[in-house]
Amino acid sequence: MKLITIHLPESYLRDIDVLVSERYYPNRAEAIRAAIRDMLATELWMRRNNKR
C-alpha cells in the first residue's frame, strides 16, 4: 500500500468517526478505502456498460 495525504471537510471526518465509533469500520483508513473501492467499482461498471 502507498501512503497518501488528503484534505477532507470536517463534516466528512465527523461522519466517518461515527461509523468507526459504531464499529461499522475498524478505523478511518478502512472506511475511506471502502468508500474509494465502492466508487471505483460503480464508476467502472457504469463506464463499461455505457460503451455497449
The predicted-structure confidence for 1-52, as pLDDT tens digits, reads as follows 999 999 999 999 999 999 999 999 999 999 999 999 999 999 998 888 886 5
Domain ranges for the chain: 11-50
Do residues 31 and 20 lie in contact, with contact meaning Cβ atoms separated by under 8 Å? yes
Quote helix, strand, coil % in the chain, to nearest 5.
Answer: 65, 0, 35
The predicted-structure confidence for 17-27, as pLDDT tens digits, reads as follows 999 999 999 99
